[in-house]
Amino acid sequence: MSCRAISANQVTLGTLLSAYGMVTNWLQAVQLVHLSYQWPVCPATLTVVSFNAMLAACRVQWPLTLHMLFASASQRLPPDVVSYNTVASNAGPWTWAVKLLTSAREASVRCNTIGNNAVIAACSTSFAWREAVAVADTMQFRGIQCSTVTCNSLGTANVRASHWQKASVVQDFMLDSKLTPDALSFNVILSALDRAEQPQSALNLLFDIKRHRLQLTPMSFGSAMSALSRGTRWRNALQLLSIMASSHLPAAAQVCNSALLACSRSSSWQWTFQLHEERPNADEVAAVAVVSAYDEAGRWQDALELLLRCSRERRLISSAALHVSACSACTRGRCWEQSLLLWEDMRFRGFAADEAAQGALLQSLSAANLGLWASSLRHVAGSQLVETGPLLRNFAMVPCEQVRQWTHSLAMSMALAQVGLQADVNTFGILLGSLQVIHQWVRSMLMVHQLRLRWCINEVHAGAAIATAQASQHWTLACDLLLNAGGMRVHFREPSTAFGAALEACSAYWWVSLTLAEEMSCQGLLPTLPLLAVKSDALEIGRCWHQQAAVLDVASSQGLQCLVSAENMTGC
């Protein structure tokens, strides 16, 4: 049997291009098309099928596919719906995907569900949720059937745009349209509930997946666990970890971190420490959660030990968040020296001094309770941080309040307006605390008046104003503040402190002291022995006052007699 040469034709070209498309060998596909025009026996003509196969092979090179698609019309090879679908699936930026859809309509090519789904997916990936919704509305207007993929992509776009309610509406539309939701559909809604901080709804939806006979995925557990961490549902978080272990699903780092955060934010320190012991080489999120738990538990030594262990293991040594959390733990433990040393270590490592780091330092200066107001003022003056609120200024004013440096506190509060910030309730509380010195009751009452116009007065503000009246020995002001506390909607959780300050202000006026002491005794704020002591002191002051008054009366009567005698002598 003699050998015979077989000529290549369009079928050969299409088959080869399809093979290259299976492995995305775009370079060989382009070279094959170029050589096909030079075949000596029968030059191949590129058909639409072969052209689509070449587009599929070049799908990883989206600029090349776009160029070939737009150039095909000039070569008398109009693309069909498969061509547009292939390019739209890998069109790169969402703007080009929308442009492709517009070009298809101008070319009288009616894109089907696949092409529109590709455009919506491109928009959802690029956070262009408005364009995704517009494409979906156009599909309904043109009578193109939506699919589960359409709803999933549209829901993803709404979730990434923080439109949780619209994502739920998309799910309801999918169920009303009798579309079958898949695992991705539930994952999208779980992500929406996670960002909407609705842990109970996320937990209920997770268990509803089983009713649809769908397999639970680690992503589903991750979204539900993240929602539980936002809602501090630590028991449910541990339950989900147990379910994942019984289902032989690997617990990713994100899932374990969410469980750690849930336990840490719920003050369940023991479970936080136990989960950390199971994963000692955790990442930054887990380490910060554990240090925060140490902070809440008052175990600043353990927080420092974890930080030192990470430093010895060359792990997380560049984590500013971990250093700030450890600094906060030392501050809460009244170990402000260690907190300041950590701050110096952060500066040595070149960490960016963000708002959290600045707040940790100023809290340390406040916790020192040594009147380090000069250091606090210098730090705020040398900081180049763009503030978003009065928090840092409030922290800096606390050391000034501790030593009653009210002039510096007022200057710093006035500087808030210069940087475009407004004083908050805490700012006024610190200012009122700074004014607890003699002769500053007028400024104190002016601030109380401003507070009543802007916000509500709390017991801290009223207590500071009473203390200012006490320092100025202004007993009428102290009594007025106590009597008008109900009218200002101020309820003292510890009224003995406020009454004690007012009683101290009235100490020189024995009749007022007796009245206040009786009132405190009636309200159960003054036991019997202190009541007797206050009464004894007040009566002693009153007795001395009467004796002085009697002496003054005798002196005044003798002086009057001398004046009368002098007048009589003059008249004579």
Q: What is the amino acid identity at position 39? A: W
The model's confidence at residue 111, banded by pLDDT at 50, 70 and 90, is confident
- From residue 189, how far is each of 117, 138, 166, 196, 225 by CA, in Å? 18, 24, 10, 10, 13
Chain length of the chain: 572
Average the pLDDT over 276-282 and give the result: 68
Average the pLDDT over 245-252 and give the result: 71
First CA to last CA distance, the chain: 176
Average the pLDDT over 197-221 and give the result: 75
The model's confidence at residue 325, banded by pLDDT at 50, 70 and 90, is confident
The model's confidence at residue 74, banded by pLDDT at 50, 70 and 90, is low
Give the pLDDT score at 4.
44
**Coarse DSSP helix, strand, coil percentages of the chain, rounded to the nearest 5 percent:** 70, 0, 30
pLDDT tens-digit profile of 494-509? Answer: 666 666 666 666 666 6
Q: Report CA torsion sign: 74, 75, 77, 80.
A: negative
Query: What mean pLDDT, rounded, does the chain reach?
Result: 68
Give the pLDDT score at 534.
65
Average the pLDDT over 76-94 and give the result: 69
Give the pLDDT score at 226.
76
Q: How many CA atoms lie within 13 A of 321 on its CB side?
A: 11
Q: Which two tokens stand for residue 39?
A: 């075949």
The model's confidence at residue 256, banded by pLDDT at 50, 70 and 90, is confident
Percent of the chain with pLDDT over 90: 0
pLDDT tens-digit profile of 49-72? Answer: 666 666 666 666 666 666 666 667
268 Cβ contact list (under 8 Å, min separation 6) = 234
Is a pLDDT exceeding 70 seen at residue 198?
yes
Give the pLDDT score at 145.
80
What DSSP designation does 437 have? S
Q: Which two tokens stand for residue 22?
A: 């299976």
Give the pLDDT score at 419.
66
Is a pLDDT exceeding 50 seen at residue 570?
no
Q: Which two tokens stand for residue 158?
A: 């709404």
Cα separation, 359 vs 350, whole angstroms: 17
Cα separation, 221 vs 230, whole angstroms: 14
Give the pLDDT score at 79.
72
Average the pLDDT over 372-384 and give the result: 57
Going by C-alpha positions, the residue among 399, 392, 406, 345 that lies closest to residue 368 is 399
Is a pLDDT exceeding 60 seen at residue 379?
no
pLDDT tens-digit profile of 449-477? Answer: 776 666 666 666 676 777 777 677 666 76
Helices (H) and strands (E) in the chain, counts: 31, 0
**Residue 179 phi, psi (nearest 5):** -85, 150
